[in-house]
Amino acid sequence: MKKHIVCFGDSNTHGYCADPSDCADGGSRFNEDERWPCVLQSLLGGDYLVIEEGLSGRTTVFDDPIHGDLAGTDYISPCLISHEPVDLLIIMLGTNDTKERFGCTAAAIGVAMQRLIRQAQNTLCWSPAGPNILLVCPPPIGEGFFDPAMGEGCREKSLGLAEAFANAAALTGVHFTDAADCQFNPIDHMHLSRQGHSQLAHKLAAMVPELL
């Protein structure tokens, strides 16, 4: 059986494209040659099955009063069970948790991530090797960002996520990497560009074989 890798994230895993001119199809979602999980699949080859589980707006644990059904803790267990046996779970979340309406600091978002990780670790879905998780901190929101729907303070909180998530990874015993060197687009400053998707895929492709 192929090694099952589940990529659990938000719009940056789903492949939202804020700049249609950056997408080969000119749409609002990068295609299968551009999205980082698909590029990762191509780089890893046929011994691996890379599974996309990206949902725009997804948070770690927070129920969104405006857009429902977005808390990662509500979906991660059935998601993982549906893809068993899971050899590696890649989690990249946190940007949506910085929204003003959740009222959380970067440190609090780190604690929320710990809860999500522990839930995943305790889900009966893993290959015989046991729970295996890579936590990816998304790039911090760019300087030109302002989205009234997300509110104030998002960028400032996002700048603290790398430290908070590195701490969460250490406390839960999971792998960690920071995607800060992966490019965001210059339109909304919080979604990966096509180049950013490629950069992330290549970064992970160099890591994944060593984790399995």
Q: Do 183 and 140 touch, CB atoms closer than 8 A?
A: no
Q: Return d(Cα 144, Cα 138) in angstroms, integer.
A: 17
Q: For the residues 154-164, what does the mean pLDDT come to? A: 98
Mean pLDDT of the 89-116 span: 98
% of residues, the chain, pLDDT over 90: 99
Q: What was the pLDDT predicted at 153?
A: 95
d(CA 9, CA 47): 23
Is residue 3's pLDDT more than 90? yes
Per-residue pLDDT for 162 more than 90? yes
In this prediction, what percent of the chain has a pLDDT beyond 70? 100
Would the pLDDT of 146 be above 90?
no
The beta strands (E) that lie in 83-149 are given as 88-92, 133-137
Write down all domains in the chain, each with its CATH number in brackets: 3-211 (3.40.50.1110)
pLDDT in tens, 25-74: 999 999 999 999 999 999 999 999 999 999 999 999 999 999 999 999 99
| Residue at token pair 């003003």 | 100
- Token pair for residue 168? 């969460």
Please give the structure tokens belonging to residue 23.
Answer: 């997408």
Check whether 198 has a pLDDT greater than 90.
yes
Q: Which residue in the block uniquely carries the two structure tokens 């977005």?
A: 70
Taking all residues of the chain, what is their mean pLDDT, rounded to a whole number?
97
